């Protein structure tokens, strides 16, 4: 009898469907929960053992999070500064070599394509870190300028070292000079073991922290050196769940959660301008032309965005995931991210609401749905509009 | 802006559209300076064989007939070249003779011809509101913005149900399918196909070639829908009349003044810098040059959004049309009173399509279709042919070699149609798209700057979202063939562009007045 056709169908690929980062061998050993998730084609840890332990490592000790799947683009050439300056909403001519800037970039309609950190490595070389592929967008931005764009994501592995003891961890491994970097500074260093690294004083947790960039073939050496200080400095590897909580506390927006990239949104209503995301501070409308400037000037002239991202302080302890928000019975918005903040001891959320309901101190009614064993529960809570920086310890800049 | 600027408006490019715009601006009382790079006015119009689609509004608004423009009552005849001394003549002014001539080919086609002409003219008239007006903005946020769209919808509705259906059915079709529906002889099918594709990168079986055919029936002689307007003296007479009109209204014209840059200050046009370094300042700049040349070269990407630059770069405009100029030492044998007539070599759909097949892959067709015209100039007889067979993106060869070869093949082809023709030719000179590109600053060397497909028409010309002649640079307007309604010698882009600039300038003045500090 002939073989049944289906049995020959390669239902599963013979190679792992997700790529592994250079740190994966160490992460796999430590991942007692065996909890993984995909991140841009890579397998990445959701959790190692206990989300509370990992969270408190970020807030009271130090943490390592593998950021190797982040996309990294090199923009270099005599006119690289002009390219980046026209690309993003902030003044890049004022960004000195050895400094980092956070900025969104927009399309011609002023809608945010993405946001990320911009490393000025030298007068003529920049590196932009972001979450979604931007090669064609950056190449279009560089068209007509004397500059080249390259995707260097695979050439650089990265670890986010975050938490109050992260400075000591760096000193412990011989990176004293890196530990002394100013907030949003960047430089090239070598560990006591001779591993060359680039360290930026950046991060996603709102805490004191650094990101360490290393060649993939030296990644494990770096990991081992850092993790030798695990006991002394309460240094823990963390997964995405603990990170998520810290980034909400820090009030950092997340693509595909707080907004959809202007290039990928199916519905224009899901895209946002920088002002709508609370990123006015990162937009300089008085600088020379940048992509989206005319649309953003028009938005300002029309009185600003119709929806705004706000922070919410919610009564009770039920995280307001996806909660509907009402004001005087009229729906005015929705929660995009929410959690209980252990460090602030507050029930916090990020939400997008009508501009009329975005004033600080406005009290909204939140309709929160939650799991009640096998049924869904519903509770009403008061949600007060607050600035979205829920946790900003002074030591992060110290 | 300092009040010292001696000009209110600068017009870049001295082709017919630039001249129309300059004349209109000057007529509106703006101190206007037109800058032409070469030593003579006319631009690409100097390569055209006729101005049959000149907008009657342009003629009227600028009083061109007072400026020496003479419109002839006689429409040009078309002779189909069908073999040695075998010609079939279509004379729009002599219906009976045309009928008799076509009946020799096919009595059915002789029947069908006048009906087809009327049908195309009627449908083209239905398109007229779209072609003449500034395209509306696709904005649904307020009712005022929807009015122009509604008005267009009403205009289409006025055509009646049958014509509307017909238009919607055939507009995106390929011309070969339509020609085969209507005619049975290769000769008429070939003529219709050739008329549809000439000037554009199309074959007889390319989609929406019926649209480009229909454009030839739009505008034209007043009171004679679908019939081309005949300007005595052709394009050069039109250019002379436009120059007289522009100067008459007070516009200043400078030739040999190539613009190197459009000056942008604070996101707004501030004037231009010439190649010799002279800076000329004015709050309004209108460019009749190619949209890519204007925005990417003269303005530069630094002042434009990245996605806009991409859209401008992607606008299709690689030319396939060449002009062949022949000097003759006497009239070709057996020819009487043929000046101004058109001789078309396009004997079938298949040959038109085969020519395109070659060009698709960057090759030069062996036997391209062409239209020849005879003219008497300075006592000498000249002939010029527009040839659908010269891809700008030639592969594995260059025009310096291929040009003379193509010219020789066309002369040979004329000899087969017209024994004794070749002996009269004393000089043959081909202007290929590369030369057009270089001479007129139009990257791609396309006769309409940008291809005239449905994807680059109306709301989508030159790029989607920017069909109102304005550009992202305040005070900079497009007024050339790259803007709606596109190429051919209509003057309509110049007219609409100048009107848009004037409207914006007075609105800006009103705003500045109202918000005065």
Mean pLDDT throughout B201-223?
Answer: 90
Question: Same domain for B204 and B345?
Answer: no
Of the given ranges (A8-12, A38-42, A122-126, B434-438), which has the lowest mean pLDDT?
A8-12
Partners of A86 on chain B (C-beta within 8 Å) are: 301-302, 306
Q: pLDDT by residue (tens digit) across B277-297? A: 999 999 999 999 999 999 999
Asked whether residue B308 falls in the same domain as residue B404, the answer is: no
Q: In this complex, do B305 and A291 lie within 8 Å of one another by their Cβ atoms?
A: yes
pLDDT mean over B420-445:
94
Domain count, chain B: 3
Q: Is residue A296 part of a domain?
A: no
Most confident region among A3-12, A38-47, B150-159 by mean pLDDT: A38-47
Percent of chain B with pLDDT over 90: 76
A79 touches chain B (CB under 8 A): no
| Domain finish residue from B378, B413, B440 | B440
pLDDT beyond 50 at A237? yes
**pLDDT tier, B225 (very low <50, low <70, confident <90, very high otherwise):** confident
> Same structural domain for residues A49 and A150?
no
Do the chains contact at B313 and A82, CB–CB below 8 Å? Answer: no
Per-residue pLDDT reduced to its tens digit, A278-335: 999 999 999 999 999 999 999 999 999 999 999 999 999 999 999 999 999 999 999 9
A83 touches chain B (CB under 8 A): no
Q: Is residue A186 part of a domain?
A: yes
Does B98 reside within a domain?
A: no
Contact A57, A231 (CB under 8 A): no
Query: What digits encode the pLDDT tens for the residues A218-234?
Result: 999 999 999 999 999 99
Question: Cβ of A291 under 8 Å from any chain B Cβ?
Answer: yes
CA B392/CA B398 separation, integer angstroms:
10
Mean pLDDT computed over every residue of chain B: 91
CA A106 to chain centre: 17
A311 and A180 housed in the same domain = no
* Beta strand spans in B389-457 (E): 425-431
B473 plus B419 within the same structural domain: no
Give residue B320's pLDDT: 96
**In this structure, is residue B101 part of a structural domain?**
no
Token couple for B107: 């009595």
CB contact under 8 A, B306 and A140: yes
**For residue B306, what is the nearest residue in chain A, using CA coordinates?**
A141
Size of interface A-B (CB pairs under 8 A): 45
DSSP notation for B141-153: SSHHHHHHHHHHH
B1 belongs to a structural domain: no
Cβ-based contacts of B297 with chain A (< 8 Å) = none
Spatial distance between the Cα atoms of B211 and B233, rounded to a whole number of angstroms: 29
Residues A87, B267: C-beta atoms closer than 8 Å = no
CA distances from B67 to A77, B29, B74, B244, B299 (A): 55, 19, 20, 6, 35
CA distance A257 to chain B (A): 24
CA angle A167, A168, A172 (to 5 degrees): 125
- Residue B91 placed within a domain: no
My answer on whether B449 and B436 are in the same domain is no
**For A135-144, A165-174, B129-138, which range has the lowest pLDDT when averaged over its residues?**
B129-138
Shortest Cα distance, chain A CAs vs residue B472, angstroms: 8
Number of domains composing chain A: 3
**Is A48 contained in some domain?**
yes
> Which of B300, B307, B472 is facing A144, going by the closest CB pair?
B300
pLDDT score at A1: 46
Both A148 and A164 in a single domain? no
Say yes or no: B325 and B433 in one domain. Answer: yes
Q: State whether A91 and A138 are in the same domain.
A: yes
Q: State the pLDDT confidence band at A135, using cuts at 50, 70 and 90.
A: very high
- Across the interface, whether the CB atoms of A289 and B302 are under 8 A apart is answered yes
Dihedral, CA atoms, A92, A94, A100, A104, nearest 10 degrees? -40
User: A85 to chain B: nearest residue by CA?
Assistant: B302
> Sorting pLDDT into bands at 50, 70 and 90, what band is B174?
very high
Is B202 in contact with B356 (CB distance < 8 Å)? yes
Residues B264 and B122 in one domain: no
A57 lies in some domain: yes
Contact (CB<8Å) A144/B296: yes
- Whether A136 and A164 map to the same domain: the answer is no
Note the ipTM here: 0.90
- What is the pLDDT at residue B28? 97
Task: Report if residue A252 sits inside a domain.
Answer: no
- Predicted local distance difference test score (pLDDT) of residue B340: 80
* Any B CB within 8 A of A359 CB: no
* A99-106 sheet: strands from edge to edge: A99-106, A112-122, A125-130, A71-76, A148-151
Q: Residue A263: what pLDDT? A: 94
Number of H helices, E strands in chain B: 16, 17
- Is it the case that residue B513 has pLDDT exceeding 60? no
Listed residues B381, B411, B440: the one ending a domain = B440
User: Is B28:B502 a contact under the CB 8 Å cutoff?
Assistant: yes
Distance from CA of B465 to the nearest CA of A (A): 11
Q: Which domain holds residue A348?
A: 306-390
Domain limits for position B210? 108-221
B448 and B432 in a common domain: no
Q: Per the CB < 8 Å rule, is B307 touching A291?
A: yes
CA distances to A221, A342, B367, B424 from B86, rounded to whole Å, are 88, 95, 18, 19
User: CA of B304: which chain A residue's CA is closest?
Assistant: A291
Instruction: Please report, in angstroms and rounded to a whole number, the separation of the first and last CA atoms in chain A.
Output: 75
pLDDT exceeds cutoff 90 at B3: no
Q: What's A140's domain CATH number?
A: 3.30.70.1400
Confidence of residue B516 (pLDDT cuts 50, 70, 90): very low
Residues of A in contact with B470 (CB under 8 A): none
> In which band, very low, low, confident or very high, does the pLDDT at B377 lie, cut at 50, 70 and 90?
confident
The CATH number for A345's domain is 2.40.30.110
Distance from CA of B266 to the nearest CA of A (A): 7
Option in A107, A143, A289 nearest B303 (CB): A289
My answer on whether A357 and A376 are in the same domain is: yes
Q: Please tell me whether residues A315 and A343 are part of one structural domain.
A: yes
> Domain boundary residue among B221, B240, B257?
B221
The pLDDT tens digits for A256-274 are 999 999 999 999 889 999 9
A192-199's contacts with Cβ under 8 Å and 24+ in sequence apart are A192/A225, A193/A221, A193/A225, A195/A221, A195/A222, A195/A225, A197/A222, A198/A156, A199/A170, A199/A175
Residue B517 confidence class, pLDDT cut points 50, 70, 90: very low
Q: Is residue B427 part of a domain?
A: yes
- Chain A CB contacts of B304 under 8 Å are 289
pLDDT at B230: 82
Whether residues A344 and A385 fall in one domain: yes
Residue A104 at interface with chain B, using a CB cutoff of 8 Å: no
| B306/A294 touch (CB, cutoff 8 Å), yes or no | no
- Residue A397 has what pLDDT? 86
Q: Can you give the CATH number for the domain in which B44 is found?
A: 3.50.50.60
Is B436 domain-assigned?
Answer: yes
Q: What is the pLDDT of residues A349-387, one digit of tens each?
A: 999 999 999 999 999 999 999 998 999 999 999 999 999
The pLDDT-based confidence of B128 (bands split at 50, 70, 90) is: confident
Q: State whether B301 and A292 contact (CB < 8 Å).
A: no
Question: Residues of B with CB below 8 A from A107's CB?
Answer: 305-307
Give the pLDDT confidence score for residue B224 in this predicted structure: 77
Facing B305 at nearest CB: one of A108, A144, A145: A108
For residue B346, being part of any structural domain is answered with yes
Q: Are residues A80 and A150 both part of a single domain?
A: yes
Domain co-membership, A310 together with A359: yes
Would the CB atoms of A144 and B305 count as touching at under 8 Å? no
Lookup: tokens for A78: 């005599």
Nearest-CA distance from B303 to chain A in Å? 6
B90 part of a folded domain:
no
Please check the confidence at residue B117 and state whether its pLDDT lies above 80.
Answer: yes
């Amino acid at each position: 009898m002939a073989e049944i056709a289906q049995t020959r169908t390669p239902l599963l690929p013979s190679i792992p469907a997700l790529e592994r980062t250079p740190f994966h061998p160490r992460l796999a050993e430590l991942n007692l929960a065996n909890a993984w998730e995909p991140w841009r084609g890579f397998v990445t840890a959701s959790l190692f053992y206990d989300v509370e332990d990992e969270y408190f490592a970020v807030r009271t000790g130090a943490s390592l999070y593998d950021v190797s799947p982040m996309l990294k683009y090199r923009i270099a050439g005599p006119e690289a500064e002009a390219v980046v300056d026209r690309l993003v909403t902030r003044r890049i001519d004022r960004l000195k070599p050895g400094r980092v800037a956070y900025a969104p970039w927009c399309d011609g309609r002023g809608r945010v394509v993405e946001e990320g950190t911009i490393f000025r490595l030298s007068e003529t070389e920049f590196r932009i870190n972001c979450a979604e592929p931007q090669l064609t967008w950056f190449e279009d931005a560089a068209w007509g300028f004397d500059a080249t764009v390259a995707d260097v994501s695979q050439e650089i592995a990265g670890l986010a070292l975050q938490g109050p003891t992260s400075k000591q961890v760096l000193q412990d491994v011989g990176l004293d000079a890196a530990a002394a970097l100013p907030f949003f500074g960047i430089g090239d260093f070598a560990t006591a073991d001779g591993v060359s690294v680039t360290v930026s004083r950046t991060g996603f947790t709102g805490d004191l922290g650094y990101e360490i960039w290393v060649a993939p073939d030296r990644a494990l050496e770096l990991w081992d050196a850092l993790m030798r200080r695990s006991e002394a400095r309460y240094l823990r590897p963390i997964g995405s769940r603990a990170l998520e909580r810290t980034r909400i506390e820090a009030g950092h927006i997340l693509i595909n959660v707080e907004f959809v990239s202007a290039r990928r949104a199916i519905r224009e209503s899901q895209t946002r301008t920088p002002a709508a995301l609370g990123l006015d501070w990162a937009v300089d409308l008085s600088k020379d032309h940048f992509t989206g400037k005319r649309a953003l000037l028009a938005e300002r002239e029309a009185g600003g965005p119709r929806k705004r991202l706000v922070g919410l302080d919610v009564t009770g302890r039920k995280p307001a995931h996806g909660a509907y928000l009402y004001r005087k019975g009229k729906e005015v918005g929705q929660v995009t991210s929410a959690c209980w903040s252990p460090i602030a001891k507050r029930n916090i959320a990020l939400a997008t609401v009508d501009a009329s309901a975005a004033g600080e101190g406005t009290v909204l009614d939140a309709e929160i749905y939650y799991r009640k064993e096998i049924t869904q529960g519903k509770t009403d809570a008061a949600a007060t509009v607050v600035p979205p920086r829920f946790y900003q310890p002074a030591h992060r800049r110290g | 802006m300092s009040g010292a600027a001696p000009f209110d408006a600068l017009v870049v490019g001295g082709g017919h559209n630039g001249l129309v715009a300059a004349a209109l601006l000057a007529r509106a009382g703006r101190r206007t300076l037109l800058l032409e790079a070469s030593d003579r006015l006319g631009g690409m119009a100097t390569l055209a064989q006729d101005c049959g689609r000149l907008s009657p509004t342009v003629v009227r608004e600028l009083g061109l007939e007072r400026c020496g423009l003479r419109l002839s009552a006689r429409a040009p005849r078309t002779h189909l070249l069908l073999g040695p001394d075998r010609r079939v003549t279509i004379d729009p002014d002599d219906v009976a003779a045309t009928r008799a001539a076509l009946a020799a080919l096919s009595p059915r086609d002789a029947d069908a011809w006048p009906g087809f002409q009327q049908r195309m003219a009627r449908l083209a008239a239905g398109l007229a509101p779209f072609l003449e007006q500034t395209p509306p903005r696709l904005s649904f946020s307020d009712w005022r913005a929807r009015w122009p769209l509604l008005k267009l919808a009403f205009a289409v509705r006025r055509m009646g149900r049958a014509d509307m259906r017909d238009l919607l059915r055939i507009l995106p079709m390929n011309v070969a399918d339509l020609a085969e529906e209507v005619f049975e002889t290769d000769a008429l099918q070939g003529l219709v196909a050739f008329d549809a594709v000439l000037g554009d990168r199309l074959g007889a079986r390319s989609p929406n070639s019926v649209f480009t055919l229909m454009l030839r029936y739009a505008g034209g002689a007043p009171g004679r829908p679908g019939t081309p307007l005949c300007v005595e003296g052709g394009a050069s007479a039109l250019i002379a009349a436009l120059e007289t009109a522009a100067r008459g209204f007070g516009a200043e014209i400078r030739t040999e003044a190539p613009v190197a840059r459009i000056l942008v200050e604070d996101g707004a046009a501030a004037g231009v810098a010439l190649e010799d370094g002279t800076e000329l300042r004015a709050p309004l700049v209108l460019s009749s040059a190619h949209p890519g040349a204007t925005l990417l070269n003269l303005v530069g990407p630094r002042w434009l959004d990245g996605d806009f630059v991409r859209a401008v770069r992607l606008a299709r405009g690689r030319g396939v049309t060449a002009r062949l100029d022949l000097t003759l030492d006497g009239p070709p044998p057996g020819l009487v009173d043929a000046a101004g007539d058109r001789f078309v070599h396009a004997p079938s759909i298949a040959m038109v399509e085969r020519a395109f097949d070659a060009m698709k892959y960057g090759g030069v067709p062996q036997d391209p279709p062409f239209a020849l015209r005879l003219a008497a100039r300075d006592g000498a007889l000249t002939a010029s042919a527009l040839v659908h067979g010269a891809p700008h993106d030639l592969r594995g060869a260059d025009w310096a070699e291929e040009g003379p070869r193509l010219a020789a093949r066309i002369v040979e082809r004329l000899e087969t149609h017209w024994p004794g023709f070749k002996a009269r030719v004393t000089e043959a000179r081909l202007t290929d798209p590369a030369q057009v590109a270089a001479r007129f600053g139009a990257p791609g060397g396309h006769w309409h700057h940008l291809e005239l497909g449905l994807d680059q028409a109306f709301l989508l010309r030159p790029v989607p979202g920017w069909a109102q002649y304005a550009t992202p640079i305040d005070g900079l307007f497009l007024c050339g063939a790259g803007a709606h309604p596109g190429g051919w010698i209509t003057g309509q882009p110049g007219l609409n562009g100048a009107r848009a600039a004037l409207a914006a300038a007075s609105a800006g003045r009103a705003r500045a007045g109202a918000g005065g500090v």
